[in-house]
Chain A
Amino acid sequence: DTEVTQTPKHLVMGMTNKKSLKCEQHMGHRAMYWYKQKAKKPPELMFVYSYEKLSINESVPSRFSPECPNSSLLNLHLHALQPEDSALYLCASSQETGESNQPQHFGDGTRLSIL
């Protein structure tokens, strides 16, 4: 069991669909992250939110749209995805970005398949 909860666990969608991935943590963390992980590859950072503001966007295509409604929630809105976007999407949180000796806590991920 992880303290970062992601829903759904699995998602299959067509290239014209719109869907959202959700992430929730109740550890009081002020930094939240989205990663993309392809099979047998390391996670790749997509977005970083710090105190509910987007602080890093790693040149992610606009078909991925992050949203942080409050300090406990992080969404990733998906629209017009491509087959190569099929991957495991991991959410993580940490106390803060910057000065911290604490690790990121990862959710179990959403396994996304684009038809």
Chain B
Amino acid sequence: ELKVEQNPLFLSMQEGKNYTIYCNYSTTSDRLYWYRQDPGKSLESLFVLLSNGAVKQEGRLMASLDTKARLSTLHITAAVHDLSATYFCAVDRDDKIIFGKGTRLHILP
């Protein structure tokens, strides 16, 4: 059974700081996704990671994938208040997409 674990589940940090969210999964997967969700809103796609060693960056966010360790990271550089949201990683195996529990990120101005 595919399981996806994120940590931390809650993160409060100051603006300007760097931090990393971790996503571990239990079996091999076809794809790994990162999504952002604002309160009361839908999910916004951030990154799709396909292969070992993949790294993608968009603004202050950078995602990486290590398929051998079954680990993906989402790194936040010099956080700003606008990045406050819940971040989900999700793993796709055999067309079933399983989400991690999400990391609620609160960035203090």
Contact = CB atoms under 8 A, between A and B. Distances in A.
**Interface size range on B against A:** 20 to 34
Nearest to A107: B42
**Interface size range on A against B:** 20 to 34
B25 interface: no
Interface in B67-109: 88, 90, 95-102
Q: Considering the complex of A and B, which 3 residue pairs feature the smallest CB-CB distances, nearest first?
A: A42-B99, A103-B45, A97-B95
A106 B43 contact: yes
Interface of B: 30-31, 33, 35, 41-45, 48, 50, 88, 90, 95-102
B97 A45 contact: yes
Given A42-B102, A100-B31, A103-B33, 5 more contacts: A43-B43, A90-B42, A106-B42, A108-B42, A109-B42
